[in-house]
Amino acid sequence: MSDLLILTVISIGTVWALWRPWIGAALFAWVSLMSPHVEFGWRAADWPVATGIAACTLVGLLVTKERQNPLLGPPAWAILLFMLWTCITLPFSFFFDESLFLWQRSMKIWLMVFVTIALVNDRRKLDWLIWTLAFSVGFYGVKGGLFTLMTGGNYRVWGPGGFIHGNNELALAVVMTIPLLRYIQLQMTTPWRRRALGACIALSAIMVLGSYSRGAFLALAAMGFMLWLKGRHKFVTGVAMLVIATAGLAFMPDQWFERMNTIETYNTDDSALGRLHAWKMAWNLACDRLLGGGFMIYMKDVYAMYSDRSDLVLAAHSIYFQVMGEHGFIGLFLFLMIGLTTWIAAGRMKKIGQASEDQRWLSDLGGMIQVSCIGYGVAGAFLSLAYFDLPYYLSAVSCIALHIGRQQQLAVAKAARQAQLPAGMAMATKPY
């Protein structure tokens, strides 16, 4: 029954994308992040649903006239440059066949990010995209929070599959999503909707605790501070965060605190020492090869060349060292530029939004994107999620929102100028 329901929803949306391709872009984001065909289906888990959605969306993009330049701002250019650099490094990969598969997966993500920027050209579409991103991951935050409460925090919360299959990966995604939920809450005008979203945020925070992820716990703390700093109603927000933190920590069992205490004693923790070992290998590789080793460098032969322990083969466990080892220092620079340009674009959104009450939403969104960047930057320091969809979608949102905000600014300025002109001259400036 669930397979049939998923097939119906996805099929309708996929066909609809031929006429309204922006719906296909949002549908692709939903399938990529939430994996509903994996979570709720059985046979549906093997369906190539993302490919079908992407194909129809691309056809709709070619047909529709409602599209814009996908290179709207510096974040889009930074993504393009990083994407092109991976094309240059690919032929020089240590293990080309394995790297080719991972390169293809990343190229699909980046392609659909540019398609999204090209198709989402007004605030209504942007709101739909933000809601899709927030609730695709927020669903697992609420579900995981409830699971943590019902089990007393004695079991770890795991992800559905894809990029967020593990407890650490899901926790990072939820940390990044909490600010988006907060943005949506700020736009609500009815009390019950605000309270419902507040409950979603609280349960998502509890889910992060229930993941037992030390990196995500640090990210949650950093993100919480930035959320208070960048948000509205600082006193109310601060009190609410203090209550949630106190209640959540008081609820967790002793084994949770024992695991968090290993943050201070990392030099005796095998997992932490393994990460340091992987980071050293990536550093040595990047120092030796300008183009890095390709998407797949986590092999015994590579560790034998760039590490003093070829018997301990681990993934990078850091977005920074992951990109450094796979694409060299130039790749790392371009990757960091994506985050930096997104941060700057979000800051400009805040500046524009603070100048006008009608554009207050832009200020709220800019602040929350910056909070998400902090969450990804901190939690990503301990996870290999450099090609995860959500950060690139946030960059796309910043490009789209800043463009819409500037258009609104120009429209207001034009209307103000016309209002100052004599009636006859104002009528003469109107196009026929």
Q: What is the pLDDT along the chain (432 residues), one digit of tens a residue?
A: 566 777 788 888 888 889 999 999 999 999 899 888 766 655 555 667 788 899 999 999 999 888 999 998 999 999 999 999 999 999 999 999 999 999 999 999 999 999 999 999 999 999 999 999 999 999 999 999 999 999 888 888 888 877 888 888 999 999 999 999 999 999 998 999 999 999 999 999 999 998 988 888 888 888 888 878 776 677 777 887 788 788 777 778 778 787 777 665 555 555 667 788 889 999 999 999 999 999 999 988 888 888 887 777 888 889 999 999 999 999 999 999 999 999 999 999 999 988 887 889 999 999 999 999 999 999 999 888 999 999 999 999 999 999 999 888 888 777 777 777 665 554 444 443
Answer with the one of 67, 86, 105 that is the final residue of a domain.
67
* Six-digit token string for 153: 């925090």
Statement to judge: residues 168 and 89 lie in one domain: no
pLDDT of residue 427: 43
pLDDT of residue 234: 74
Of how many residues is the chain composed?
Answer: 432
**Same domain assignment for residues 79 and 101:** yes
Same domain, 344 and 400: yes
Q: Are residues 214 and 149 in the same domain?
A: yes
Q: Are residues 275 and 423 in the same domain?
A: yes
Note the pLDDT of residue 332: 97
Same domain for 275 and 259?
Answer: no
Instruction: Give yes or no: residues 375 and 316 share one domain.
Output: yes
DSSP H stretches of helix in 252-318? 254-261, 270-288, 300-306
| Closest alpha carbon to 216 in 155, 265, 258, 169 | 169
One domain, residues 289 and 420: yes
Residue 430: predicted pLDDT: 45
Which residue, of 231, 264, 297, is where some domain finishes? 264
pLDDT for 25 equals: 94
φ, ψ dihedrals at 294, nearest 5°: 95, 175
Q: DSSP string spanning 245-270?
A: HHHHHHHS-HHHHHHHHTTTTGGG-H
pLDDT attached to residue 325: 94
Domain that holds residue 109: 74-119+270-432
Are residues 144 and 56 both part of a single domain? no
- In this structure, are 246 and 299 located in the same domain? no
User: Number of structural domains, the chain?
Assistant: 3
How many CB atoms within 10 Å of residue 19? 12
pLDDT value of position 431: 45
Distances 285 to 278, 279, 316 between C-alpha atoms, Å: 11, 10, 12
Whether residue 132 contacts residue 397, with contact meaning beta carbons closer than 8 Å, is answered with no
Looking at the structure, do residues 1 and 40 belong to the same domain, yes or no?
yes
* pLDDT at residue 425, as a whole number: 52
- Regarding whether 360 and 330 lie in a shared domain, the answer is yes
pLDDT at 47: 67
Whole-number pLDDT of residue 41: 58
Please give the pLDDT value at position 428.
Answer: 47
pLDDT given for residue 423 in this prediction? 52
Last residue of a domain, which of 25, 48, 67?
67
